[in-house]
Structure 1
Amino acid sequence: MLKDFSIQAFIMGLLVAFVGFVSSFAVIMQGLTAMGARPEEVASALLALSLLMGVLGIILPIWKRMPISIAWSTPGAALLTSIGVIEGGFPAAVGAFVMAAGLIVLAGLFSPLGKAVRMIPAPLANAMLAGILVNLCLAPVKAIAFNPVLGLPIVATWMIVVIWKRLWAVPAALLAFVAVLVFGVDLPPDVFARLGGAIHPDLIVVPPVFGLHAFISVAVPLFIVTMASQNIPGIAILKVNGYEPAPSHLFVSTGLFSAVAALFGAVPVNLAAITAAMCAGEESHADPKRRYWSALIGGIGYILLGLLASAIIAFVALSPPILLQAVAGLALIGAFSNSAQAAFRDAETREASAITFLVTASGLAFAGVSGAFWGLIAGAVMLGLKRVATKG
């Protein structure tokens, strides 16, 4: 292994960890908070996620000798934001996280389930994801309306940097958020003492509560979103770059680690998509056989960043919530535009995709079940009716 190490892969691994954590930790915070998690539970979940992502991100590259990058389910966290607190509170949400992890394991063990997920029409899956993301993507506009002096620097920084270097746009917006918080918000005089006291993170186990409502409303949509927008694209990116991993091994591994993460109130652990492309591409190393080191270093980086989770939460808690939501929204604009484009590209499925998008984006729950689930069902019914009419 040491012969395969390179400075190029080392630098790429550090970049992967930094971008992966900084670009989306705000989305994770928003999703868990929306489900009723307390700040200390959010910090615990971030720590558990980072540690488990890091450990799995080290094991898989060593085991498979492939640049298999691991991430948390950012679209899944965005889904939680759209659902909000469910019956039974955060323990019920944790139960749903455990059940979603179980479905991921089953998708790896039993190929029919994995095939069933892949059979979900891609336009509808993308329309559901776009509907989930749209409300979060409106947060930057709301932040400017809330306070232009605080909101505009964050959004303007993102707009300028995304033109120059898209990869650095969200980290730059986060730095602008920090600057706005330091210079534009009245911080308590003992702020640094508070942050110093929050350096030592604590892991909090949240006993799960299982129920049919949580399964249908949270677990099933979370499973679908994680598989359709993270695990399956993650496999595709590896294949595009010349790697042929066994999907079943990867799904079972991520599902088992997701189950452990869920007990600490965390969203699933899954295959990365964007950072997977960074690790698997030529920028990582010219020799494909040596690129796995970048994913391995990324795993180590996630562990180190996770140890700062409590301090990050303590600092962010000092700002108006809408500002952090703005950063999260900016981080999801790319995912929203890509999913919306894929959802409405095909004229044959455009109406069904529109129905899925609108029902999901409404955020309304019917019979206690989230709009994301009903959006997918409504779109599937419309698509089925259209196909029957066409054949007739």
Structure 2
Amino acid sequence: MFKIVNDMSVSALVAGFIAVLIGFASSVAIVFQAAQAAGADENMIVSWIMALGFGMGATCFFLSLWYKFPVITAWSTPGAALLATSLGSITYPEVIGVFVFAGLLAVLTGVSGLFDKVMRLVPLPIACAMLAGVLFQFGLSIFDSMVGDAFLVGTMLLAYLIGKQLLPRYAVLFVLIAGVVFVLGRSETHFLSNIPFNIGSLIWVWPEWNVGALIGIGLPLYIVTMTSQNIPGVAVMRSSGYETPVSPLISWTGFTSVVLAPFGGFAFNLAAITAAICSGQECHKDPKRRYIAGLSAGVFYAIAGLAGTSVVALFSVFPATMIAALAGIALLGTIGMNLKTAMMDDANREAALVTFLVTVSGVSFGGIASAFWGILFGVICLLISKIRFK
């Protein structure tokens, strides 16, 4: 306990809060669509949000506390998008069965150690190039958002540049404060007037098994979660210097999915975008003290889950341009550091560049996201470059 108090810092606490803010605000609408496609009513949708908040809160807090680095988890956003378009004709209990099945596959992947072995075969420059490609669109979103709201985004960017000069560790806090003050200053309505303040309840539904759904939906849900979420999540850890074996992390997120699936916790995984916010130098200059951001994120995720729809409504008050700009600015340092690591070594530069470009392209084959194909193409390029033709 005393160590936690000594290691605590405002910048790490803020990093955890921003991770939760961005995690919820950026993709909660997709979760709503997935729940509606599953046939969930209003109370069940609240149960989904609560289960997801509690699951992410528990995994962030306890895994970060145990491993002493920021383990940031998230719901599977591509998984939610898949569910929103694939659940058409099956019953709600069969949907729950799909969630349990995908979670069990994740547990087996972690327990077997297969995922950890595969990831250790990926060179660091390739992993960093892939991560830079994943984050690249968030950097662009700063200036895309500026087109729609130049004064708001310009104010936030200016706050970041000044903050980097005055107090680098708190630069992102300056950005958040500037954005909130700007939004409140021009708001013509009371900020909290339309936000309901209530606590929902978890609703348990027993799973039922539909073999066609398990194969047709459960297996793709597992694949997109592993390739689109867990692979970039591991890349964040590696690029930040954290070499903890990832198989136990995969096992625990899969186990959490199995336990909370009956309440609507459809898929938990390692985060990439929000993890990058909690793993960079802006969080804390000492990597050994950044785990506080994981504890902070865990607490805020649990609060978000407890508050249910109230927190979702609160996040919806902030304009999309502010959320996009906040995410992009918070990730600028991480994008730059990963590009530097990826391109530093002459022997790996071309393979890393291919990885970066494939990932940025967003290309998808067989429903598997570009992050996986970026690594695959990059590794192939690297292997060919090592061949010495006579």
Q: TM-score, normalised by structure 2?
A: 0.72
Moved more, 332-341 or 89-98: 89-98
5+ residue gaps in structure 2?
37-41, 89-94, 208-212
User: Once the 2 structures are TM-superposed, how far is the Cα of residue 12 of structure 1 from its aligned partner?
Assistant: 0.8
Q: How far is 1:131 from its partner?
A: 1.0
> Is 2:172 the counterpart of 1:173?
no
Q: 2:358, 2:374 within 8 Å by CA — same for their partners in 1?
A: yes
CA drift at 1:246:
7.5
- 1:26 matched to 2:22? The reply is yes
In structure 1, the partner of 2:2 is 6
Matches within 5 A, 1:55-74: 55-56=58-59, 59=62, 67=68, 69-73=70-74
**Structure-2 separation of matches of 1:172 and 1:203:** 37
CA 1:308–1:333 in 2, change beyond 3 Å: closer, same or farther?
A: farther
- Partners in 2 of 1:21 and 1:102 — Cα distance? 30
2: CA distance between counterparts of 1:95 and 1:357?
Answer: 37
Q: Structure 1 residue 42: deviation in Å?
A: 9.3
Pick aligned residue for 2:111 from 109, 123, 126: 109
Give 1:296 shift.
6.6
Give the match for residue 221 of structure 1.
228
Cα gap change, 1:259/1:376 in structure 2, threshold over 3 Å: closer, same or farther?
farther
1:203 and 1:141 map into 2 onto residues whose CA distance is: 40
Other structure's SS at 2:317 match: coil
Quick one: which of 180, 183, 186 aligns to 2:185?
183
Residue identity in the other structure for 1:325: A
Q: Give secondary structure in 2 for the equivalent of 1:337.
A: helix
Shift of residue 119, structure 1, vs aligned partner: 0.9
Match of 2:265, SS? coil
The alpha-carbon deviation at position 29 of structure 1 amounts to 3.2
Q: Structure 1: state its 5+ residue gaps.
A: 240-244, 285-290
* Cα 1:218/1:26, change in 2 over 3 Å: same
- In structure 2, distance between residues paired with 1:123 and 1:202: 46
Aligned-pair CA distance for 1:333: 1.7
Q: CA 1:59/1:222 → structure 2, altered by over 3 Å: closer, same or farther?
A: closer
Query: What CA distance in whole angstroms lies between the structure 1 residues aligned with 2:341 and 2:141?
Result: 23
1:1-392 correspondence to structure 2 within 5 Å: 5-6=1-2, 9=5, 12=8, 16-23=12-19, 25-33=21-29, 36=33, 47-56=50-59, 59=62, 67=68, 69-73=70-74, 80=78, 85-86=81-82, 89=85, 105-187=107-189, 191-195=191-195, 197-201=196-200, 210-230=217-237, 237=242, 249-260=248-259, 263-265=264-266, 267-269=268-270, 299-300=298-299, 303-304=302-303, 306-308=305-307, 310-388=309-387, 390=388, 392=390
Following superposition, the deviation at residue 134 of structure 1 comes to 0.7
* Partners of 2:249 and 2:193 in 1: CA distance: 42
1:186/1:297 CA distance change after superposition, 3 Å: closer
Contact 2:101 2:218 in 1 (8 A): no
Contact 2:7 2:292 in 1 (8 A): no
Question: Using a 3 Å threshold, how does the CA distance of structure 1 residues 85 and 50 change in structure 2: closer, same or farther?
Answer: closer
Aligned pair count reads 363
Identity within the alignment, %: 26
Contact map agreement 2:106 2:222 (CA 8 A) in 1:
no
Q: Aligned equivalents of 2:46 and 2:111: distance in 1? A: 32
Could you give the per-residue CA deviations for residues 71-120 of structure 1, whole angstroms, max 9, x where no partner exists? 2259x76xx5xx99447528699999877755653454223431111111
In structure 2, what residue type is equivalent to 1:124? I
CA pair 6-317 structure 1, distance change in 2 beyond 3 A:
same
Q: How far does the alpha carbon of each residue in 1:235-275 deviate from its partner, in whole angstroms, 9 at most, with x for none?
A: x54x7xxxxx7865555334422555674256425797875
Query: 1:192 is aligned with what amino acid?
Result: L
Q: How far off its partner does 1:301 sit?
A: 5.9
Query: RMSD of the alignment, in Å?
Result: 4.5
Does the residue aligned with 1:193 lie in a helix, a strand or coil?
Answer: coil
Q: Which stretch of structure 1 is more off in the superposition, 134-143 or 198-207?
A: 198-207
